[in-house]
Amino acid sequence: MCGIFFCTSTSQNPVDDDLLQKLREINAHRGPDAQSSCFHSLDYSQSQNTSRCEDVKTNILQLEFFSSELRLRGNLPVIQPHQRNGNVLCWNGEITADENDGVELFEILSALNEPEEIRDTFAQIEGPYALVFYHAASQKLFFARDPLGRRSLLISKPSSRNPYFLLASVSSGNDPRYDFEEVATGSIHVVDFSRLKNYTDVTMAFDDCLSPLPRQSPAKPSSYAVPCRLNQSLPDKNSPRISSLDDIPDWLQPSVDDLISHLDKSVMLRVQDIPRNTAQPGQSRVAVLFSGGIDSTIITLLAHKHIPTEEPIDLLNVAFENPRKIRVQNEGNFGGVSKKQKKQKTSQKTVSTHETYLVPDRKTGLQEVEELRRLCPGRIWNFVEVNVPYQESRAARKYVEALMAPGRTVMDLSLALALYFAARGIGQIRPQKDADSEPYTSPARVLLNGLGSDELLGGYGRHRSAYNTGGWPAVIEELQLEIDRIPTRNLGRDDRVISSHGKETRHPFLSLDVVSFLAKLPVHIKTDPRLEVGLGDKMLLRLASRKLGLVEASSRKKRAMQFGSHSARMEETDTKGDLLLD
């Protein structure tokens, strides 16, 4: 993980120093192990001959490359940006190599000459990434995110008001001096700086010098260049149904086994070879964003297989003090009850501190950690109760809004708050079930996240609604839309928020290998909206979980994070999730 910041400006229109410093600092938080910058200058002075003299218009293009480094690969410290012979790479990615993957990738890129060769190199990378690469010989700048957008990269194009070009992993929030938006994942983007010498106004010329490079060549198809398209085959009209999770029918058994195998490999690649860095022997290196639901629990159980048994695993479970929820619990819904009766009932009912944080995700988390302890008795499971007082969440709101930008809906904020405090990892643990709590801060720098299973396996209520209105074809169409929307909905925002703590989130369900495997399966193998909730939704995953021994988790119904943690709708005035914040 690292933070990336890149700036292009001209000597005639420099960027404010304080803006540059703000963007360096916010991106430095993502990589606490090292930070560095390098600079290049390109002379695009233009000469205009006249009969008497030569009028020289000086135009120096200044390039700044800044990177911060969170070392999670290899044993040797590496400082970015990578530089050689004028080439520069700012890399925020994961190729699952034994050593630092940025060093290895830079060696490869520096030996290439054509844009298509660079494109074909990225078509072979499965892991998440965002990058900025300057190719000195051609004076071209390449920047991109992986096809699913698992790492954040923002772009602010030059305008008459702000005549400079910015790229950054994260912005510093609302500021009129830039207009950041997410870098689109559909192509690799190329800026040809050599063409700028043909223009007198760099701002006006920028769009002509920026072009998309298709992610894959028709002659060299790659499963990692673009997400796999969904299998369009439809089940028979009277296709069989399962009756329970206890018995896996023969027609589903191979797919259940294959899902376990693919997911197990994905988890293994995301938890192996993590350097200890600041973690001492006996401390955790891996944590899970843990609600006790089926998604977080199955990746937790699989992580157990690939992490030394003597090493704890932290289960981060977040709960918010929500005044609106507490008010309802205290006062209840009295309807036509008189004021006197209402006052009497209210005085008899007060929510305790313990009950304040006994939110739905806390309840299921406590239940599920006991199931994990029964299945894995030799492991220390640190169930970290991250309790967020109302005033603390209010105080953090402005900073979290800056991190999640350009996302700015009510739902963006409620999810971002939950992720921000969970990833921070400051809470309390209990050595035994009924023991007193002890203060605890998770040292883990790698956080596993179960995001993606609902999109891939039909876990949302809208998939059931699609079936009710349009049958299996409508379900297939909706699931394809889910994959298409993944890069623009959650991942960039989540990466910006979590990485502000110098931690990296990894998504086992969103391995392109797992995505491809599930996309190729017929739809009725993955989900069956004809069955009740808790059985038909994410049916294949539920069967796999039950086979692994997760009896309780396998039948739990889906609950959105913002409702399970009570981070949503804290005030009476809070509105629908898709509305924009003031």
Q: Give catalytic residues, as residue numbers.
A: 2
Helix (H, G, I), strand (E, B) or coil at 328: helix
Of 157, 229, 198, whose CA–CA distance to 6 is shortest?
157
Query: What are the phi and psi torsion angles at 540 (to 5°)?
Result: -65, -40
The 3-state secondary structure of 270-327, one letter per residue:
HHCCCCCCCCCCCCCCEEEECCCCHHHHHHHHHHHHHCCCCCCEEEEEEEECCHHHHH
**∠323-351-422 over CA atoms, to 5°?**
55
CA distance linking residue 129 with residue 92, whole number of Å: 5
Residues with Cβ within 8 Å of 571's Cβ and at least 6 positions away in sequence, in order, are: 323, 324
Looking at the DSSP bridge assignments, the partners of residue 46 are 57
Dihedral, 66, 68, 73, 76 alpha carbons, nearest 10 = 90
Helix (H, G, I), strand (E, B) or coil at 129: strand
Of 562, 284, 318, whose CA–CA distance to 442 is shortest?
284
Residues with Cβ within 8 Å of 352's Cβ and at least 6 positions away in sequence, in order, are: none
The 3-state secondary structure of 469-495, one letter per residue:
HHHHHHHHHHHHHHHHHHHHHCHHHHH
Helix (H, G, I), strand (E, B) or coil at 431: coil
Crossing angle, helix 539-547 and helix 294-306, to 10 degrees?
Answer: 40
In terms of Cβ atoms closer than 10 Å to its own Cβ (0-12, 13-18, 19+), residue 180 is: buried
CA distance linking residue 373 with residue 219, whole number of Å: 51
H or E element at residue 54: strand 54-57
